[in-house]
Amino acid sequence: MTHFVDIDEVSVSYILGEPPVLEGASLQMSRGEFVALVGPSGCGKSTFMKLMSGLLQADQGSVVVANQEVTRPLGNVGMAFQNSVMLPWRTTLNNLLLPLEIVRPHRETFRQKREAHANKAIELLSSVGLEDVAEKYPWELSGGMRQRASLCRALIHEPEVLMLDEPFGALDAFTREELWCVLRDLWQERKFTVLLVTHDLIESAFLADRVLVMSNRPGRVIMELEIPFERPRDLDIRFEKEFVDIVHQLRDQIRTARAV
Amino acid sequence: MELMRKRNLERLAPWFVTVLMFLIWEVICQLGGIPEYFLPAPTVIFDAMLTFHEALIEDSLYTLLSTSLGFGIAVVFGLLLGLLIGWSKTIYRGLYPVMVGFNSVPKVAVVPILVLWFGIGTVPAVLTAFLISFFPIVVNVATGLATTEPELEDVLRSLGASKLDIMLKVGIPGAMPFFFGSLKVAITLAFVGAVVSETVASNHGVGHLMLSAQANFEVPLVFAGLLVLAFEGIVMYAIFAAIEQRTVHWAYRSHQ
């Protein structure tokens, strides 16, 4: 069976002569799957994201998304980072519309359809509880609000793949939990394919269908774990024994990975 | 109430300091018995301003014109060159040493060459104002472009954005605070350039006026010229500071 995302035996080194960041690393994802990638810092988690989005070409191996070899940025991906990177001179609404000004085929018709796009953006903002801040500037929002808006921006052009690089890393614990649920509900509703890079094992186990553990540099996927819990999951699932066991298992793996 | 008083004090502070400076100056001149031909007291200078107000107004407008022209060219040229340098690392590498070298040359040394090419008068003044004021604009625009956040670039590139898209959507708007910030510096430098050139080679302008006043030993008029220049500089600075506040207000509010 062909996978929606098929990264096969890739190696990447940024600097010639330096040890590679990824070596013989593989990753497969089905359409609509939620995969979390965890591992020691500097193990090349973000490099995987860059490969998948076409921002970076592998030195060896192949990257295939939707039966298409990725050789350049595809446009059908959304990205969000730890830092919300909103444009301070644009209102939240106009920040959300940015991808539509860029991505094909929307960019050609952006002006004619601006109103329809704006309505869609406001609808999306409402779904994460931000309907009131559309006309506010990003610096008038709290960190959690900005991160929600950043998620919306990543989704506005209805990408098939959503890539999240520690999107909740800089938030306080309560806001983080809130946003886990926001992401959970968005995914439940739209079923996009997600690659979530995170340091937070509880986060990975709570949100993902499958958690992949990476080794130390040069990075490879050394273990994967199916997360069997029913969806939609409740936040309290974190305190059940099976959940705690899984988190323990992940932690042990990472500890071994770091020790190598 | 307390806050109000503090705000008022803040607003009045510049006037207060300026008046105080003139007062101290006056007192030192009066009590110290400093001769007028060495350092005239402010009252003497104001008196000279009244006496020669026609010439002062005419020449200061003349200087203002040369300055504005030179500054205008510097803005256009500086912005374009800054964008070019910010666009490509190779261009940046190639041009930077030349520009730094160019900027290190004292502009007063360039004036004779300009006179050789264009004769004395307005053209060298305009060009000197331009030459001295474009550098900060170039550097600031290029720096502003360089501060584009790499993650934002990733977001846009992953959507298939071209380099031009990134420049237009993110780079240039993001560089605007740097650009407008540099205008405040550049306009005051442009005054320096115009006056330097007028002093060396012109029959008009405040620079020329001050030089002739000095030759005639009209020391209060020399100082009157200086004050007029300072005044013009402050007004232009204030204008560009206000424009900056209006156009890139987001860059200020975000720090609050």
DSSP code, position B11: H
Q: What is the largest CA-CA distance in chain A?
A: 57
C-beta atoms of B170 and A157 within 8 A: no
Q: What is the pLDDT of residue B124?
A: 93
Residue A152 is part of which domain span? 89-158
Best of A14, A65, A77, A89 to substitute, by most chain B Cβ atoms within 10 angstroms, is A89
Domain count across chain A: 1
Question: With respect to CATH, is domain B61-250 assigned 1.20.58.340?
Answer: no
What would you report as the CA-atom Rg of chain B, rounded to the nearest whole angstrom? 22
pLDDT 10s digits, B135-187:
999 999 998 988 888 888 888 888 888 889 899 999 999 999 999 999 999 99
- Token pair for residue A71? 């050789």
Please give the distance of CA B155 from its chain centroid, rounded to a whole number.
38
Chains A and B form CB pairs within 8 A to the count of 70
Complex-level ipTM beyond the 0.90 threshold:
no
- Chain B, nearest residue to A90 by Cα: B250
Backbone φ, ψ for residue A172 (5° rounding) = -75, 165
| Structural contact between residues B71 and B134, judged by C-beta atoms closer than 8 angstroms | no
| pLDDT tens across the length of chain A (260 residues) | 578 888 888 888 877 777 788 888 888 889 989 999 988 777 788 888 888 888 888 888 888 888 888 888 877 888 888 888 888 899 999 999 998 888 877 777 787 888 888 888 888 888 888 888 888 998 888 888 898 899 889 888 888 889 998 888 888 888 888 888 888 988 988 888 999 999 889 999 899 999 998 888 788 888 888 888 888 888 888 898 988 998 998 888 888 777 66
- Token pair for residue B175? 């560089």
pTM score: 0.81
The answer as to whether A134 is a domain residue is yes
> Minimal Cα–Cα distance from B253 to chain A, Å?
8
Q: Which residues of B touch A98 (CB under 8 A)?
A: 156, 169
Amino acid letter at A112? Q
The residues, ordered by sequence, that sit 6+ positions from A121 with a Cβ below 8 Å of its Cβ are A93, A96, A97, A134, A152, A156
Give A248: exposed, middle or buried? Use CB within 10 Å, 0-12, 13-18, 19+: exposed
Which residue do the tokens 């939707």 mark? A66
Decide the pairing of beta strands A161-165 and A193-197: parallel
C-beta atoms of B169 and A101 within 8 A: yes
Give the Cα separation of B211 and B227 in Å (integer).
Answer: 15
C-beta atoms of B159 and A89 within 8 A: no
Considering only CB atoms, A55 lies closest to which of B157, B248, B251, namely B157
- Chain A, nearest residue to B256 by Cα: A139
C-beta atoms of A50 and B159 within 8 A: no
Mean pLDDT of B43-66: 93
